[in-house]
Chains A and B, each alone.
Chain A
């Protein structure tokens, strides 16, 4: 079997180390090595955003990152979004506004939306559409996802 690399990283705030081959993507490592299966595979070539995670705070497609690249970096995934069992306002809004149907793209949309609201707490509809253009959804037509992001933004600004 091929050479394994020992990688030390931080995932959702916790120190993690794992062994992987250089050819394994971050997506494969998250799902098949660490069993963090909330990050979904939709296309495996950077065109759907279902595997969106953040790497040192920057949105990336986990399918287009090698597992070995995250050494010494900080990764956040959908699993890190709810804190101590409390849902993030975006998660609540996606539920309330029916911002999901089948749910396969939902983790990617949530991770992208959170990054958006961290950068632009009160985004315009155009800004939301621009930030979410890298995430494909085939069920909803996007309307209710955008409504959910707007709702979460309002609540977060109001501090409720």
Chain B
């Protein structure tokens, strides 16, 4: 591995001023499960590695009636082992408990999974359908960005050089709502998604109709994709296999996958249809509805 300096700022102010002042390449270290491996292969060679785990704001996990705030450095395992969070946001748990094995889950952070911006990242579609906002800060101020706009391409994101992803804000779940994440991998775990999908639905009080929906798919384009058209197609429609099928078809159309060693275009298109269907089924069930 190349040589680098290592810093552990104790406050968000100290961290932001380091980012503001640094002229050579910097990488932020939270879980390190991507960064350390990337540095070892020489894929990235920062001059400074800033360990963000001492910063309080990045370690918060706050559930209230206003929703959920997840600090960017909070690990997947911390999230899925919190029973209250697990009950309130099961779709997040679907994804967080599937990343790597248990050793990776103990380190890999929610923010890191987002910032790494892998097209196949499992958390991102789940965060998208849960309407998560990325809370971004630099030494001059802060802004919020919907997660669906955060990734700009494979491995690239919307953060400027001096900006920091502080946390993710998830609104509270509406009445009669439910969400679910599904992915497909050849092995049952320890694998990268060939395709993945998340769905969130809000049902009418009687559970018979879709009030609204959100559908996101991953590993089938340069970034995870929010499929607005599929969601719109469900609005006001009866909760039925036919409705689900139409949405899944639209999602399939929206997918623009590539052939690579993990799967083919045709397979991924098929998987999008299957996974969106299964994610919707799960979401409907969690919303108290039935097909």
Q: List residues 20-54 of chain B with CB under 8 A from any CB of chain A.
A: 29, 31-33, 36-37, 39-41, 49, 51, 53
Please indicate the chain A residues that have their CB under 8 angstroms from the CB of B40 in the complex: 44-45
A–B complex contacts, Cβ < 8 Å, 8 sampled: A3-B5, A23-B39, A25-B36, A60-B103, A61-B107, A64-B107, A69-B32, A134-B101
**Contact: A46 with B33, CB < 8 Å?**
yes
- B1: min CB distance to chain A, Å: 4
Q: Provided the pairs A21-B3, A23-B3 are in contact, do residues A46 and B102 lie with their beta carbons within 8 angstroms?
A: no
> Which residue from B3, B41, B189 sits with its C-beta under 8 Å from A133?
B189
| Contact mask for chain B residues 118-131; partner A; CB cutoff 8 A; 1 contact, 0 none | 00000000000000
- The smallest beta-carbon distance between B96 and chain A, in angstroms, is 14
User: Which of under 10, 10 to 19, 20 to 34, or 35 or more describes the interface residues of A?
Assistant: 20 to 34
Q: Give A52 to B101 CA distance when docked, in angstroms.
A: 11
Residues of B with C-beta under 8 A to A117 = none
Establish whether residues B6 and A59, one from each chain, have CB atoms under 8 Å apart when the complex forms.
Answer: no
**Does A76 count as interface, using CB distance less than 8 angstroms?**
no
Most chain B beta-carbon neighbours within 10 Å: one of A2, A3, A21, A59? A59
Q: Does A64 lie within 8 Å of B3, measured CB to CB?
A: no
* A131 CB-CB contact with B under 8 Å: yes
By the criterion CB–CB under 8 Å, are A65 and B37 in contact?
A: no
| B104 close to chain A: CB less than 8 A | yes
CA distance A131 to B5 in the complex (A): 35
Docked complex Cα distance between A55 and B53 (Å): 14
* A-contacting residues, B71-114, CB 8 Å: 75, 77, 100-104, 106-107
